């Protein structure tokens, strides 16, 4: 297929060429953010999985590195995590980087066994440049569960052991280890809790503090069964004592309601910051999206927090502060009252399709923000007061015919009871990420307009007043 540079994002990671899915092994090490990813260097659709690799000083400008891990006699290299082994518990070396991943054996899968996914180790002694596989892989053998994968490992201070959070079909299984090599099963969680429209994949477990109290967040990616169809990231808030996860309640919650954030997990070794990034696609159509010579991008990095709202504890997602470094001169309009449709393109000095838009209102009610082009294509997003929902509608935003699952209108509940809100949108040629109510609702969506969406219009038949509307072109720093 012909190349589509017009869809290449500028501040989201994409591989130069070929297929990518989940982020893997995200670890901050000696001033560098490492991003590994599910990668098939042999084509533009999913295939025998490798770990691709990219590095960045700020999670925005990425330099692609050589492939870190390639398939071997034990199978493909599926998703997993990486840690800094500060105390040399594994004996690979002090401060070794250790990757814990799933070996997926395609021969065993074909033969109809249910033990073809096992957990293995690899390590790097040169800050992630080169990787050695452990010579006694796998370190955690499959007990007979077909879906047994995506280990996320972290150090647990209470037990002074490593904890592995593993996706095991319809639940999470926790394991512990003193040395990353010998693993003991601790407990299971979730068989009867949360969303189960598909298989559980790519979990994460971490503490977050709110008002001096520590809570634990368990992320569980799910495919299919997301709130707008296909893949999505749900989460639970509760307590973890090093052995067992106990949820606060049984409510199903979503880290991102849009159709295009999946397999999202957080960086290791970032101190008090909890930084999240997901794959910006959906298994419903990821293999068909009209980009070339690469397929798929990652989301922007997000900083996670907790927030109490209506007696519930919610995870919040906000664009990481680093995004501010991309901002050029903002154009801000004050007191914009919308009743009849208004075209703000000129007043907002909107010319490109890589920008940040913020809309602030003291009284939120129904409105539609329409991003359009001369071809009559429209990406419509906004708020529906009657349904108390944010929405993004890409059905008229350009190419949709590559998959029957793609066109449509995605919705997300408004969780805040406040009268006003501030909405932030990050646009980068072929994607929009919406953050509302200080991160209580996040929505990610990709689209493929045939010409850049550079016009900005507002509609609100019942009227709404924005205290400010601001447009900031984003100027990414050069890659590498
Ligand atoms: C999630 C996933 C993981 C698996 C990987 C394979 O998108 O299915 O569960 O490890 O992708 O590429």
Strand order in the sheet with 354-361: 331-338, 464-473, 354-361, 421-428, 431-436, 441-446
Instruction: For residue 102, give the ligand 1 atom closest to its CA.
Output: 10
Looking at the chain, the whole-number percentage of residues with pLDDT higher than 90 is 99
Q: Write out pLDDT tens, residues 141-173.
A: 999 999 999 999 999 999 999 999 999 999 999
Tell me how far the alpha carbon of residue 78 lies from the centroid of ligand 1, in angstroms: 6
Instruction: Supply the pLDDT for residue 480.
Output: 42
Q: Please state, rounded to an integer, the average pLDDT across all residues of the chain.
A: 97
Q: 182 an active-site residue?
A: no
Pocket of ligand 1 (CB under 6 A): 21-22, 38, 49, 78-79, 102, 149-150, 201-202, 263
**Pocket of ligand 1, candidates 152, 263, 284: which has the most ligand atoms within 8 Å of its Cβ, to mutate?**
263
Instruction: Supply the pLDDT for residue 260.
Output: 98
| pLDDT band of 476, cuts 50, 70, 90 | confident
- ipTM score for this prediction: 0.99
Tell me how far the alpha carbon of residue 478 lies from the centroid of ligand 1, in angstroms: 30
Active-site residue identified among 22, 85, 204, 353: 22
With a cut of 70, say whether residue 96 has pLDDT above it: yes
Angstrom distance (rounded) from CA 354 to CA 323: 12
Q: Please count the other Cβ atoms lying within 10 Å of the Cβ belonging to residue 320.
A: 19
With a cut of 60, say whether residue 479 has pLDDT above it: no
Instruction: For residue 201, give the ligand 1 atom closest to its CA.
Output: 9
| pLDDT band of 478, cuts 50, 70, 90 | low
Judge contact between 256 and 263, C-beta under 8 A: no
**Pocket of ligand 1, candidates 24, 149, 281, 298: which has the most ligand atoms within 8 Å of its Cβ, to mutate?**
149
Tell me how far the alpha carbon of residue 474 lies from the centroid of ligand 1, in angstroms: 32
**What are the chain's domains?**
5-321 (2.115.10.20), 327-473 (2.60.120.560)
With a cut of 70, say whether residue 87 has pLDDT above it: yes
Q: Write out pLDDT tens, residues 346-365.
A: 999 999 999 999 999 999 99
Q: Write out pLDDT tens, residues 35-86.
A: 999 999 999 999 999 999 999 999 999 999 999 999 999 999 999 999 999 9
Q: Write out pLDDT tens, residues 319-333.
A: 999 999 999 999 999
Angstrom distance (rounded) from CA 3 to CA 49: 23
* Atom 6 of ligand 1: nearest residue by CA position: 78
Tell me how far the alpha carbon of residue 283 lies from the centroid of ligand 1, in angstroms: 10
**Pocket of ligand 1, candidates 19, 20, 21: which has the most ligand atoms within 8 Å of its Cβ, to mutate?**
21
Angstrom distance (rounded) from CA 36 to CA 54: 6
Mean pLDDT score, 183-201: 98
Mean pLDDT score, 249-275: 97
Tell me how far the alpha carbon of residue 212 lies from the centroid of ligand 1, in angstroms: 36
Tell me how far the alpha carbon of residue 371 lies from the centroid of ligand 1, in angstroms: 33
């Amino acid at each position: 297929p012909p190349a589509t540079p017009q869809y290449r994002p500028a501040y989201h990671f994409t591989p130069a060429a070929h297929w990518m899915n989940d982020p893997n092994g995200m670890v901050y090490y000696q001033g560098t953010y490492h991003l590994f990813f599910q990668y098939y260097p042999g084509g533009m659709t999913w295939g025998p999985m490798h770990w691709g690799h990219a590095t960045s000083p700020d999670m925005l400008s990425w330099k692609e590195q050589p492939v870190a891990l390639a398939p071997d006699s034990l199978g493909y290299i599926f998703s997993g995590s990486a840690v800094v082994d500060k105390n040399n518990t594994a004996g690979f070396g002090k401060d070794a980087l250790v990757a814990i991943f799933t070996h997926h054996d395609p021969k065993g899968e074909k033969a109809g066994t249910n033990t073809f996914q096992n957990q293995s180790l690899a390590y790097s002694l040169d800050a992630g440049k080169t990787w050695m596989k452990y010579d006694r892989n796998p370190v955690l053998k499959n007990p007979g569960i077909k879906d047994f994968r995506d280990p996320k490992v972290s150090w647990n201070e209470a037990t002074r052991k490593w904890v592995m959070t593993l996706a095991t079909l319809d639940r999470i299984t926790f394991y512990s280890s003193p040395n990353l090599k010998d693993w003991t099963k601790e407990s299971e969680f979730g068989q009867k809790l949360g969303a189960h429209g598909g298989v559980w994949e790519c979990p994460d477990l971490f503490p977050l503090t709110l008002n001096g109290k520590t809570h634990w967040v368990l992320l569980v990616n799910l495919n299919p069964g997301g709130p707008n169809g296909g893949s999505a990231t749900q989460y639970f808030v509760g307590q973890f004592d090093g052995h067992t996860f106990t949820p606060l309640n049984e409510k199903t919650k979503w880290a991102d309601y849009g159709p295009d954030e999946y397999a999202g997990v957080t960086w290791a070794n970032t101190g008090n910051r909890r930084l999240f990034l997901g794959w910006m696609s959906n298994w419903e159509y990821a293999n068909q999206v009209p980009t070339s010579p690469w397929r798929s991008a990652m989301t922007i990095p997000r900083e996670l927090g907790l927030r109490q709202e209506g007696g519930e504890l919610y995870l919040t997602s906000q664009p990481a502060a680093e995004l501010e470094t991309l901002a050029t001169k903002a154009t801000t309009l004050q007191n914009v009252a919308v009743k009849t449709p208004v075209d703000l393109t000129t007043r907002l000095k909107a010319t490109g399709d890589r920008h940040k838009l913020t809309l602030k209102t003291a009284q939120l009610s129904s409105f539609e923000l329409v991003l359009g082009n001369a071809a009559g294509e429209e990406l419509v997003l906004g708020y529906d007061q009657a349904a108390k929902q944010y929405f993004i509608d890409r059905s008229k935003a350009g190419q949709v015919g590559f998959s029957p699952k793609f066109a449509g209108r995605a919705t997300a509940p408004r969780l805040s009871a406040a009268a006003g809100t501030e909405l932030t949108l990050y646009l980068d040629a072929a994607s929009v990420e919406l953050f509302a109510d200080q991160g209580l609702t996040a929505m990610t969506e990709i689209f493929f307009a045939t010409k850049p969406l550079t016009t900005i219009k507002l509609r609100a038949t019942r009227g709404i007043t924005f205290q400010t509307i601001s447009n900031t072109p984003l100027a990414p720093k050069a890659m590498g």
